[in-house]
Amino acid sequence: MTKRRKQILFITQFSLLLGIEAITCFTVLGSLPITPAIVATLAMVPVIITSILLNTWAGTLMGLIAGVFSLIVWTFMPPGPAAFVFTPAVEPGNFFSLIIVIVPRALVGTFSGLLYHGLIKLFKNVKTQFVQKYRYHISIIISAAVGSLTNTILVMTLIYFCFGAEYAAAYGIAFEALIGAILMVIATNGVAELVTSVILSLAICLPIGKFITNTMEE
């Protein structure tokens, strides 16, 4: 395959994944209810999948775009009580709102990609039959889990340090109880999103990876 054809193929593949990212960000299909109180957001799944099927920088770019999509949603759609942490357009949002909405999502692609492609190379030298048979499964599970946790933990940590008092007030809780509330979010929504990301990444990357840029033949 010529270099130009490879570039066209790569752009086509990235564009298809970008379309899926847009669907998860701008439609109700991007939210998966687990229980009445727990909803898994699927916006990070295409970012993780991009970093696995294509490469790390493509996943990082997809994460940046996901952050911009999220900024648009929080800016122009009916805001929630703490919309200001994701957009400077809602008071008392500021520059740190942009950091919170964009940087963690970009790092999802970075960490997922580095982990997946690094683990595949590492496992090549492990002669254990189990590892050789399941190295793609293991690499996907670890990279998807870390990618999902990256977004959840970074977003909640940045919220605490940048808008802790305002965020607590928006939800009518004492600032002293905010750490507990954040840990609860991580333990509920965060875990739900982690499990969902792992399952969908395995279900999509394992069969499709054999046909996309030799992802499963590194």
185 Cα distance to chain centroid: 16
3-state secondary structure of 31: strand
Q: pLDDT band at 6, cuts 50/70/90?
A: confident
The domains found in the chain, sorted by start residue, are 3-217 (1.10.1760.20)
pLDDT in tens, 143-167: 999 999 999 999 999 999 999 999 9
Mean per-residue pLDDT for 35-51?
A: 83
User: How many CA atoms does the CB half-sphere of 198 hold within 13 Å?
Assistant: 14
User: Would the pLDDT of 63 be above 60?
Assistant: yes
Asked whether the beta carbons of 105 and 63 are under 8 A apart, the reply is yes
Asked whether the beta carbons of 186 and 150 are under 8 A apart, the reply is no
- Strands 39-41, 31-33: pairing is antiparallel
- Integer-rounded Cα Rg, in Å, for the chain is 18
> d(Cα 141, Cα 176) in Å, to the nearest integer?
35
For residue 215, what pLDDT is reported?
55
Alpha helix (H) residue ranges in 77-170: 95-124, 129-170
48 dihedral zone (left: phi>0; alpha: psi -120 to 50; beta): alpha
3-state secondary structure of 40: strand
For residue 107, what pLDDT is reported?
98
User: Would the pLDDT of 142 be above 80?
Assistant: yes
Q: pLDDT band at 80, cuts 50/70/90?
A: confident
Residue written as token pair 């790092």:
107
Please state, rounded to an integer, the average pLDDT across all residues of the chain.
91
**CA angle, 14 then 19 then 25, to 5°:** 120
> d(Cα 112, Cα 86) in Å, to the nearest integer?
23
pLDDT in tens, 82-93: 899 999 999 999
Mean per-residue pLDDT for 50-61?
A: 96
pLDDT in tens, 173-195: 999 999 999 999 999 999 999 99
Q: pLDDT band at 77, cuts 50/70/90?
A: confident
pTM of the model: 0.93
Q: pLDDT band at 34, cuts 50/70/90?
A: low
Beta bridge pairs of residue 40:
32
Q: pLDDT band at 110, cuts 50/70/90?
A: very high
For residue 4, what pLDDT is reported?
85
Q: pLDDT band at 41, cuts 50/70/90?
A: confident
Closest CA to 21 of 169, 214, 13: 13
Residues contacting 102, CB < 8 A, separation 6+ = 64, 67, 68, 70, 71
Mean per-residue pLDDT for 22-33?
A: 85
